[in-house]
A and B are shown apart, each in its own frame.
Chain A
Amino acid sequence: MEPSVDITELYAAHRLALVRLAVLLVDDFASAEDVVQDAFAALARRPEAVRDPSKALAYLRISVVNTARSALRRRRTARAYSPPHDVAAPSPEDSAVLAEEHREVIEALHRLAPRQREVLVLRYWSDLSEAEIAKTLDVSRGTVKSTASRALVALEKGMRPTGPRSEGTEQR
């Protein structure tokens, strides 16, 4: 069967963006590359899964999100039932040049539940609409809205873990 999409072209066009998406989800560059590689490999084995080339990126995005979630789950399993939100901090090479103000946000982001993190990344980095996020995560638009709302609250709390933040200052 002739492939319905040009995977090589997709690879060239979207690999970087998808690795960036993945790194926001798993916060580990090597894992992010693996996640994206797996997504493309899956598509290569079943190119007929995407008959409409215009939907290929959406397909890959779904694949990346779910594979990233699996990777995090495996990471937790490997740690013998460590607390679900006990996600490792970014590796030094990942965060060495990340400004302190951003690192605080990213670290708080990775203390969120996976679904909350996915919604925030897709909304505020991928700039997807609620409908697109809902389709990507296979949930309702209402769930997207409520998850995002709770995630923002949790994110803000996560950025000030030791108590109320003083106006204009940050916890260090």
Chain B
Amino acid sequence: MSTTPDTVDLEQRLRAALTARADLVRPEDLAPLAPAAPLRPRWSPWVLLATAAAVLLVLGVVLQGLGRDPRSDDVAPRPDEPPVVLPDDVGRHWEADDVSTPARLDLDGDGTDEVVDFLGEPTEDFDGRTRLETTLSSTGEDLYGIAELGTTIGTTALPPVDADGDGDQELVLRYDDPAAGPGGGGHPLVFDLRDGLLVEAVAEEPELLLSGDIPVPGTKTEHYEMVRQQDFWVEDGELWSSRSVNAYARGNMTIVRPLVTVRDAWTWRLTEDGRLEHVDAGCLRHDVMDDARTPCEDGAADDLPDVADVAEESIGLGESATFDDGYAFTARLEAVADPSLVVEGADGRTIDHALDVADPRVLTTQPVGVFADGASVVIASSSDPGYVQVLRQDGGRLRALDPVGEVDLTDDGSHRTWLTPDGTLVTAVAAEDGTWRLWFWQTVSRSEMAALPGAVVCFDDPTDPSTMRRC
């Protein structure tokens, strides 16, 4: 670390001084059974427990599982595990904004709530740190913590938890990931009173304590990637998290998932050394419509997608239909020479689009699952069962969307394609084992559409989607 003669001299002096100072501690100076010094001036029974632990230690007795109050020795690191970091004392001059709400919780377990103020670090983008400040009701001691919440605006705490079961409460804040895409992203931060400070707990396996659509590595394609849905919440003083058992395709601002999903769930426990460790809480059934979570029954699985019904009504040459759901327009099939589709929009514009298929039929349900920002129709053919085409309005014309990606838009022995009454265009693709993978069509550009994968299902009769069932 050094080369110059002056430095060598300094190093020698330092070595000598360190040795001399260390040697002042002689073996006979050591207390035979020195108890651990009390580090926090509260709950003296726990200090006694710590003293007892030290005595038993020398006797070679291993203590495990003693519930007691955290002490600073608990923050000592363990190999290969993230250490708890005590907060820096910064930001005493920072200020709270008008839209943040101070938290109220019983940090010291004396039955009286403390009020925790959130002081934001002033930065140009409001992305600085947040200082947590409070005064303990039991001792009058001022204490602080530092949080990185992604933003300093509108800080609001989640309900408090008692993650270590010691009778006092821990503060829970939320980190919002500013870089998260659709589906959001974030994780909770748990702050515990420790060493006279509000110290952030370190989560073991933090990937289980996230919210949002979390990508599955290695699944990204041109048009979608697979994600697992995760969330966290506080319930009855406990911190929970969950992760969907299955992964779902997300792309083009859409996620292909059923309304009811099955999730693995965990509760989170604060250990004596300041770590959050997860406890398996089994399986939960999550209903997105009700935002309700209920324990799984045996054999629980995701709901099947609601695509068993078929929108079969259509018009042929010389007929017309009115489309009221979504963009309003009327459509009629004409055949002066070649067949054409005439669309008259509610804005008075008329589009005449030549069709290149014999015996065309226009389904009277608009494929809003594919395109919903103008007129769109599905064209089939009476004489060609495999023919399926989607037309969408592009300014003053109709444009045929070119199917791209992994699935062909057709209807044959291995590909079953149908439109549901709610406008979802589905193609089921047969696998060699007799199962079928459902694919859901989405517009991916002005001229293209691609299918995103969904559930694997079975059919009693592959020609009849209403016979769809779990495999």
List residues of A whose CB falls within 8 A of some B CB: 1, 3, 6-8, 11, 15-16, 19-21, 23-24, 27, 29-34, 37-42, 44-47, 49-50, 55, 58-59, 62-63, 66-67, 70-71, 73-74, 77-78, 81, 94-95, 97-99, 101-106, 109, 120-121, 123-125, 130, 138, 145, 148-149, 152, 155-156
Contact = CB atoms under 8 A, between A and B. Distances in A.
A74 B195 contact: yes
A53 B2 CA distance: 34
A110 B454 CA distance: 64
B179 interface: no
A40 B142 CA distance: 31
Nearest to A62: B77
Nearest to A12: B58
Given A77-B197, A148-B1, A155-B10, A33 B30 contact: yes
A20 B30 CA distance: 10
B470 interface: no
Given A46-B78, A62-B76, A121-B18, A20 B13 contact: no
Contact of B62 (A3, A106, A155): A3
Nearest to A33: B34
B97 interface: no
Contacts of B59: 8
A23 B17 CA distance: 13
A112 to B, nearest CB: 11
Contacts of B20: 98-99, 102
A105 B30 contact: no
Contact of A20 (B25, B39, B76, B195): B25
Contacts of B29: 29
B36 A81 contact: no
Contact of B10 (A50, A121, A145, A156): A156
A19 B22 CA distance: 9
Interface of B: 1-2, 6-7, 10-11, 13-25, 27, 29-31, 34-37, 39, 50, 53-54, 56-64, 66, 71-79, 83, 86, 89, 195-197, 272-273
Contacts of B10: 152, 155-156
A8 B60 contact: yes
A98 B25 CA distance: 11
Given A31-B37, A44-B63, A102-B16, A23 B21 contact: yes
Given A62-B77, A71-B72, 15 more contacts: A11-B57, A16-B27, A23-B24, A32-B25, A34-B36, A38-B71, A41-B50, A62-B79, A67-B73, A73-B86, A98-B20, A98-B24, A101-B17, A102-B21, A125-B15
Nearest to A60: B76
A62 to B, nearest CB: 5
B14 A41 contact: no
A13 to B, nearest CB: 12
Nearest to A105: B17
Contacts of B25: 16, 19-20, 23, 29, 32
B45 to A, nearest CB: 16
A50 B79 contact: yes
A27 to B, nearest CB: 8
A79 B114 CA distance: 23
Given A33-B30, A38-B72, A70 B22 contact: no
A125 B74 contact: no
Contacts of B39: 74
A41 B34 CA distance: 11
A104 to B, nearest CB: 8
A138 B82 CA distance: 9
Nearest to A22: B25
A83 B89 CA distance: 11
Nearest to A81: B89
Contact of B14 (A1, A30, A94, A120): A120
